[in-house]
Amino acid sequence: MSAVVIDASAGAEIVADTRRGRALARLIPRDSEGWVPEHFYAEVGGTLRRWVVIQRSLPEAKAQEALSGLEAWKLRRAGVASLLKAAWPYRHNMTIADALYVALAEHLQAAFLTDDHNLVGAPTFPETVRVLRLSARL
């Protein structure tokens, strides 16, 4: 079974069941095991909040469904404390929150599902991490 690390940019789209989220979900191999660092849940919750409260692009009822889907999603979780040392070298080109996903993907030798094109374009993004992503336009 292969592993796929899913970041919050992809996770929020998937649980909100957006058009982009459905396309991202199709990129996850059927035989794979999804992995996230623990802060994934807070980041996805923060994104959903922004879409409801600030951007007003997601109805409250849809956000509630997304939160239920997030809670039910069977993902393996990694603690962030054990990933911090591996994430630290990326501090100059990505946030520590983003670097934790990258460090986890490296540790697991996993594919990395993201919708953050700036992240994978960072100068220090490791070439050894296989990225699953959509084109910028969809």
Is residue 27 in some structural domain?
A: yes
Interval 22-56: pLDDT, tens: 999 999 999 999 999 999 999 999 999 999 999 99
Per the structure, how many domains does the chain have? 1
Is residue 103 in some structural domain?
A: yes
Element (H, E) at 46: helix 40-49
Is residue 138 in some structural domain?
A: no
Task: Please classify residue 55 by burial: count the beta carbons closer than 10 Å to its beta carbon, then call 0-12 exposed, 13-18 middle and 19+ buried.
Answer: exposed
Domain extent, residue 110, equals 2-132
What predicted TM-score, i.e. pTM, was given to this entire model? 0.94
Is residue 122 in some structural domain?
A: yes
Is residue 82 in some structural domain?
A: yes
Is residue 124 in some structural domain?
A: yes
Tens-level pLDDT at each residue, the chain (138 residues): 799 999 999 999 999 999 999 999 999 999 999 999 999 999 999 999 999 999 999 999 999 999 999 999 999 999 999 999 999 999 999 999 999 999 999 999 999 999 999 999 999 999 999 999 898 766
**CATH assignment at residue 33:** 3.40.50.1010
Residue 118 in contact with residue 27, Cβ under 8 Å? no
Q: Structure tokens of 109?
A: 């030798």
